Structure 1
Amino acid sequence: MRDDRSGPGPAGGGGPVAGLVLAAGGGRRLGGRPKALLEHRGRPLVEHAAAVLRAAGCERIHVVLGAAADAVRERAALGGCVLVDNPDWAAGMGSSLRAGLDSLAGTNARAALVSLVDQPGIGAAATRRVRAAYQDETSLVSAVYAGVRGHPVLLGSAHWAGIAAAATGDRGARSYLKAHEGEIALVECGDVARPYDIDTEADLVHLE
């Protein structure tokens, strides 16, 4: 289900690359605190993630919600974003990726620039680099940090069906990308971003 808080939005437009934030996690290792609502610089993490995609040049941004979706709608300022409910969020990130790609299927987007809500150390500079590597609907692009692949990733629409079929549990697009490793354009971002995750109580030190 979709809910665009600021009206119809860019239903037929928004450029070829859409932003997709996966923000459905329940924060099991954080005592059940949904990651989307953790505060960073005074605002929920989900706001920060959407703003990074906007600053990187994405006009259309879809945000997949799951745990505490109603609270996220109430507390996070996500005007202009399309909010996508994932009722199966507890099954893992793969279900959120499938929901997000499905929500983009009826738009003119030819690629999805995918970011994770719990990586606030990855800002607009890195995200813009990955977006700039888009060529067409067959593009596969990944940020790398000292040679290790990470997020964000750009997934051309020609790959969405295959990615959705392979996205199970918490693997997301990992298995599909491994099978298509030779097709991935790698973009080094270690000089402009820090790819840590907010997974445990100890990781909360990274929030500002």
Structure 2
Amino acid sequence: MRSRLRFRPGGLACIVLAAGGSRRLGRPKQLVRYRQRALLLHALDAAAAVAPGRVVVVLGADALRLRALLRRHGAHAIPVSNCRWQHGLAGSLQAGLAAMPPATRAVLVMLTDQPAVTTNALCRLLDAWRRRPNVTAAARYACGIGVPAILPHAVWRQLRSLKGDTGARAILRESTQTTAVDMPEAEVDIDTTDDLTKLANLSPTLIVRRHSRLAGSLARRR
């Protein structure tokens, strides 16, 4: 891995984590197709829309196949290798951080297995972060606070201290100042073969509508 990569300067960059071995699924989830495209490409498209020219994708398991996919589709992302991907999520996150140019103000951390997270969802997160750019902004959904999340430079030291399979969520849960952004789209992730069945019927619009109806119902009860 190169310690520093040169790409378009800017305040916000994106790290797409795509190094995992997909052990529970039994095949690379990054290559699972949704709407005729691999999940990795969906994630990179959304990332490039909010951080054009400033996207890093961290590869580990099946790196050769994923690099070939990136070349074949001309994906606008810089691949970074995490040779220690078997040791967990922390190493991949730190590999992405190591590639950030000094001028980077914050990083948007994304996963490849949240196919309902679109550009629109990321724009809501970005708008919230811009109102308080020195504070972490993160998605809020059924599992609580998690990624996608925008992490300002002030918390990078904590990220670099993470070990094993601990990701950004550990820091998000400890923070008392995180700007939480409702993102029901992030509830959908792909880990098992059962999730593949759900993926076939996935409609991001339907997810948001259900969330809106639930929020309205709760509001009327108050």
Taking structure 1 as the reference length, the TM-score comes to 0.85
Q: Tell me whether 1:200 sits opposite 2:192 in the alignment.
A: yes
Q: Tell me whether 1:30 sits opposite 2:14 in the alignment.
A: no
8 A contact 1:24–1:86 mirrored in 2: yes
Cα separation, 2, equivalents of 1:75 and 1:170:
26
Q: CA RMSD in A?
A: 2.2
Equivalence map 1:140-151=2 (5 Å):
140-145=136-141, 148-151=144-147
Cα separation, 2, equivalents of 1:140 and 1:78:
31
Give secondary structure in 2 for the equivalent of 1:67. Answer: coil
Residue 84 of structure 1: which of 75, 80, 85 is its match? 80
Cα separation, 1, equivalents of 2:127 and 2:68:
33
Residues 70-107 of structure 1, C-alpha deviation per residue, up to 9 Å, x if partnerless?
A: 11111233533111100011111111111111111x34
Q: How many positions carry a matched residue from both structures?
A: 196
Cα separation, 1, equivalents of 2:99 and 2:74:
17
Quote how far apart the aligned CAs of 1:196 are: 1.4
Report the identity percentage: 38
**Structure 1: which 5+ runs fail to align?**
none
**Structure 2: which 5+ runs fail to align?**
201-222
The one-letter amino acid of 2:109's match is: V
Residue 49 of structure 2: which of 47, 55, 65 is its match? 55
Distance 1:206 1:78, change over 3 A: farther
Residue 99 of structure 1: which of 95, 113, 128 is its match? 95
Equivalence map 1:1-208=2 (5 Å):
1-2=1-2, 9-10=7-8, 13=9, 15-31=10-26, 33-76=27-70, 77-104=73-100, 106-135=101-130, 138-145=134-141, 148-165=144-161, 167-180=162-175, 182-190=176-184, 193-208=185-200
Quote how far apart the aligned CAs of 1:35 are: 1.9
Cα separation, 1, equivalents of 2:46 and 2:160:
25
Structure with the larger helix share:
2
Give secondary structure in 1 for the equivalent of 2:167. Answer: coil
8 A contact 2:90–2:167 mirrored in 1: yes
What's the counterpart of residue 216 of structure 2? none
8 A contact 1:137–1:157 mirrored in 2: no
From the CA coordinates, give the structure whose radius of gyration is larger.
2
